[in-house]
Amino acid sequence: MEYKIELVERDSLPALSIRKTVTAEHLPLEIKAAYETIASYLKELGVKEPGKPYVAYYNMDMHNLDVEMGFACDVEYPGYGDINAEQIPPGKWVHFTHKGPYKEMGHGYTAATQWMKEHGINPTGIVYEFYLNDPAEVPESELVTQVAFLV
């Protein structure tokens, strides 16, 4: 798959999230639990649509992944318990869109990393994956994920 890689400027975006350190093996269960917890809290607040789901990776240590799992929201909401009120930071981002199974996104990561090297861009080490559709509603081949590196 060929990727269109771009450098863009983004404003900050309010979010609700849960941050944990997990193994790659347990990540899918942790993501599901975090999304369910946050969606339930938003429902209590009277919010019908929780926002755009995401996972932010603060490292790539597969045995001790430092991840933030949550929803980018249109407005700010207060945190509660393990749920943190966050801001997805403003600034410059290198991003690409991946269509297909999540397990095949590595090719895009490799292409984006190479693109940044070629353009003299140094990433901060924080990578966000924004999930633009739901794997419960579309086949794996139709999944769309926007991957964004904070630079």
- In this predicted model, what pLDDT tens digit does every residue of 28-82 receive, in sequence order? 999 999 999 999 999 999 998 899 999 999 999 999 999 999 999 999 999 999 9
Q: Is residue 45 part of a domain?
A: yes
Q: Is residue 60 part of a domain?
A: yes
C-beta pairs of 130-133 under 8 Å, 24+ apart in sequence? 130/52, 130/53, 130/54, 130/72, 131/52, 131/53, 131/54, 132/52, 132/97
The CATH number that applies at residue 127 is 3.20.80.10
- The CA-atom distances, in angstroms, between 46 and each of 32, 39, 40, 50 are 21, 10, 10, 10
Q: Is residue 1 part of a domain?
A: no
Number of structural domains the chain divides into: 1
Task: Give the global pTM.
Answer: 0.94
Domain range for 38: 6-150
Calculate the average pLDDT of the chain: 96
What pLDDT, on a 0 to 100 scale, did the predictor assign at position 1?
A: 77
